[in-house]
Chain A
């Protein structure tokens, strides 16, 4: 008997249809996953269950929780259910807590709002729950404020709030998407443990098939507001009856065909580079303390080489990237490209700049919304002393757009006419247009859905073969780096802890931290068909 059953749920916001006849079952003591790409309606299904829908939403169908249809419940009745019978955990732990209240007060509130216990007892319970989620009293007293905790710790507090009254259903909406891979593993283990201990039902929303295969007992694959396939996880992933499920799975484990590197002469040289940031003063009159974000880092990139730089947030990889691009000065060591320093006499060296380009993570933020594609992708021409004009400029634009799989006519369109994946292609066109010696991909595929990500990775591999690119690919995700680099560097706390050819590193990681990263990453299962793929999945 299932605890929650959603039957034929349709939902529209101000008349725009979001869900069309979603049907699913969630049983007690089980983890049921909802997966799909952005816009598939998986989060909206969760909010419908919570009764927290935006104004102007109309629903049809039924959401039956323990025999009552939640869609027909009044708001006070839903308030009584929320937090007591159904708890919820959100994607973004950094903003999910009230910044001006202590964590103790916020956990206690769940208990007190339902008048479940006397205040003294509620405080004891809050303490117990925080202990349960791995926040022991000596380091995490109830009087802590959210800003004193890291993202992973805050997510634990959110989980504590959600389970304080032992709800029968826990909804987790992308609970680890914003977290580092090692933290993600801990939070996923915590959730699994809590489900097991309390016999809760859990609705797990995630875009990540690897997380699904690791966590969920039952799987629902959603697309465009519909469930396309449902069943026990292992069975669904094994049979993959629906082509969309197969698409998602293949894209998740996609390995681009890079071709062999033709690396020879050194291009980029990073020698003993250090980068310091001033911290806020700890005392009023002392010198400002410095934080060394990059510690004495050295490496080379040869012409034609494709190098990955992997690390978790705060490891210094972004800082190092900005230093290589000459956007910020360094406090020690030297960075040279083709023998010329990137930063000279207190200024970025323009002769070096014009040999480097970058592709950023956010396909929406990396373009000035007011300009047309032609103007956007020709911005690097500014670096050239004699930029092409007239027909030569048009030819360059057409070539760059064609190279990334777009049409020359797209040059006259505004950026908002393009999807996220197309924008990332335009970003690559912008990087290619001055034929740079080195391209830096800064988390360039991290914001993309899996299928689009696979296409962009293929595009990079194609360009790499046709244009003989040299690039530095920065990512928090080891598995992405695997198929499109010749060499991987792993960075941790400002230092490069491992720097080896990609195949070697994945076959036998040397450094314990690399091993931690690899073990923490959720794995896609290997099925017979999958083993035919050129590279086994991570």
Chain B
């Protein structure tokens, strides 16, 4: 078990290292000079040079990479080119919107998908199953940002149950914050829930065909008891993979949904930074997103070992 964790940790470190190289490579080594971009085409060469040295762009690429990485390891993400404030501070402020939103959506999606998938699988081919699969077929086809607009139209503009956008901040109280995140979370969660429901259903149906399910029935378990006691835990193994993948989509999806609801999250930050050519902010936020995805997949790997004893005995 320990060996399994250590092996995963090593692969996690390698992934992070390669990801940081890729991001740094694309953003900083690729064509275009942030300093001349920031100052516009008419800038004097010596002004550009001064800004370059201020931003540390005159150092060698290796030095810049090393200082970027070592900075991030110590929590120093550098200074925004545009705002001249620490990037770490900017990210920390925005993270308190994006992360709760993604987790809220993941919770909703799982809470909807697990029961729906089990329900459909237990009634394979029946009207309940057809209704659920029909709904998921529609759910996977809906773009989440459009769904968000429709939610705003109905629940904010027509019914006035929620506000159409904006975020009061967590200072205004937990429930006020959660309320502001509710429509965005639903918009993010429903299309993902449709996918997860399908995965849960088909994974369970695969397990239902396994020999050990027949063994369970031969012991005297009803088909429902067999599904709950033997099917579910085995079916979870592929489902977990998708849950892990979905977290990546939810984080990325949150970036778009934040645009619909004018939420001051990482998405807004990254789009501002792109328009202002604030590359250090872009690369730090991207690195953070990638870090989050890799971490979640690491956690999923650990959960596998908890679910599947066969993994625990392997190294």
Contact = CB atoms under 8 A, between A and B. Distances in A.
Do A and B come into direct contact in the complex, CB within 8 Å? Answer: yes
Interface of A: 50, 52, 55, 75-76, 79-84, 87-88, 90, 92, 95-101, 109-110, 113-114, 145, 147-148, 158, 161-162, 280-284
Nearest to B10: A284
B218 A113 contact: no
Contact of A87 (B218, B229, B233, B309): B218
Contacts of A95: 210-212
A95 B7 CA distance: 29
Interface of B: 3, 6-7, 125, 210-212, 214-222, 225, 229-230, 233-234, 307-310, 313-315
Contacts of A87: 218
Shortest 9 CB-CB contacts between residues of A and residues of B: A83-B220, A83-B219, A95-B211, A88-B218, A82-B220, A145-B309, A110-B219, A98-B212, A147-B310
Contact of B218 (A55, A148, A162, A280): A162
Contacts of B314: 280
Contact of B212 (A96, A113, A147): A96
A95 B210 CA distance: 7
A284 B7 contact: yes
20 contacts: A50-B217, A82-B219, A82-B220, A83-B218, A87-B218, A98-B230, A99-B234, A99-B310, A100-B233, A109-B219, A110-B220, A113-B220, A114-B220, A145-B309, A145-B310, A145-B313, A147-B310, A147-B313, A281-B3, A282-B315
Nearest to A102: B309
B157 to A, nearest CB: 49
A99 B216 CA distance: 12
B315 A283 contact: yes
B3 to A, nearest CB: 5
B218 A50 contact: yes
A158 B216 CA distance: 10
Nearest to A161: B219
B24 to A, nearest CB: 30
B219 A90 contact: no
Which applies to chain A's interface (DSSP): helix, strand, loop or mixed? loop
A99 B235 CA distance: 12
Nearest to A282: B315
B315 A281 contact: yes
A109 B213 CA distance: 13
A110 B220 CA distance: 7
A75 B222 contact: yes
Contact of A100 (B215, B216, B307): B307
A489 to B, nearest CB: 35
Given A80-B220, A113-B221, A113-B225, 10 more contacts: A52-B214, A75-B222, A82-B218, A83-B219, A90-B214, A95-B212, A98-B215, A145-B309, A281-B3, A284-B315
A360 to B, nearest CB: 24
Nearest to B7: A284
A113 B223 CA distance: 13
B216 A98 contact: yes
A99 B7 contact: no
A176 to B, nearest CB: 16
A152 to B, nearest CB: 16
Given A95-B211, A148-B313, A284-B7, A100 B234 contact: yes
A105 B260 CA distance: 51
Contacts of A83: 218-221
Contacts of A100: 233-234, 307-309
A283 B315 CA distance: 7
Nearest to A91: B211
A70 to B, nearest CB: 14
A79 B222 contact: yes
A99 B212 contact: yes
A52 B221 CA distance: 11
Nearest to A86: B218
A79 B218 contact: no
B220 A90 contact: no
Between B125, B211, B219, B308, the greatest number of chain A beta carbons within 10 A of the residue's beta carbon is seen for: B219
Contacts of A284: 3, 6-7, 315
Between B230, B233, B234, the greatest number of chain A beta carbons within 10 A of the residue's beta carbon is seen for: B230
A158 B221 CA distance: 15
Between B225, B229, B309, B314, the greatest number of chain A beta carbons within 10 A of the residue's beta carbon is seen for: B309
Contacts of A99: 212, 234, 308-310
Given A95-B211, A98-B230, A280 B221 contact: no
A81 B220 contact: yes
A80 B222 CA distance: 9
B315 A101 contact: no
B206 to A, nearest CB: 13
A14 to B, nearest CB: 13
Given A283-B3, A283-B315, A96 B215 contact: yes
Between A75, A97, A98, A281, the greatest number of chain B beta carbons within 10 A of the residue's beta carbon is seen for: A98
Contacts of A148: 313
Contacts of B308: 99-100
Contacts of A109: 216, 219, 221, 229
Between B7, B212, B217, the greatest number of chain A beta carbons within 10 A of the residue's beta carbon is seen for: B212
B220 A97 contact: no
A316 B310 CA distance: 25
Nearest to B222: A79
A90 B215 contact: yes
Nearest to A162: B218
A100 to B, nearest CB: 5
A52 B218 contact: yes
Contacts of A80: 220
Given A99-B309, A147-B313, A284-B315, A92 B211 contact: yes
A97 B218 CA distance: 12
Nearest to A50: B218
Contacts of A55: 125
A431 B132 CA distance: 52
A281 to B, nearest CB: 5
A98 B234 contact: yes
A97 B215 CA distance: 7
Contacts of A76: 222
B225 A82 contact: no
Nearest to A158: B215
Nearest to A105: B229
Given A101-B230, A283-B3, A96 B211 contact: yes
Nearest to B234: A100
B6 to A, nearest CB: 6
A113 B217 CA distance: 11
Contacts of B212: 95-99
Contacts of A81: 220
B271 to A, nearest CB: 43
Contacts of A101: 230, 233
Nearest to B237: A100
Contacts of B125: 55
B307 to A, nearest CB: 6
Nearest to B225: A113
A79 B233 CA distance: 22
Contacts of A52: 214, 217-218
A98 B218 CA distance: 13
B219 A113 contact: yes
B192 to A, nearest CB: 26
A109 B217 CA distance: 11
Contacts of B309: 99-100, 145, 147
B217 A82 contact: yes
Nearest to B213: A98
A55 B7 CA distance: 46
Contacts of B214: 52, 90, 96
Contact of A161 (B211, B215, B307, B315): B215
A398 B218 CA distance: 51
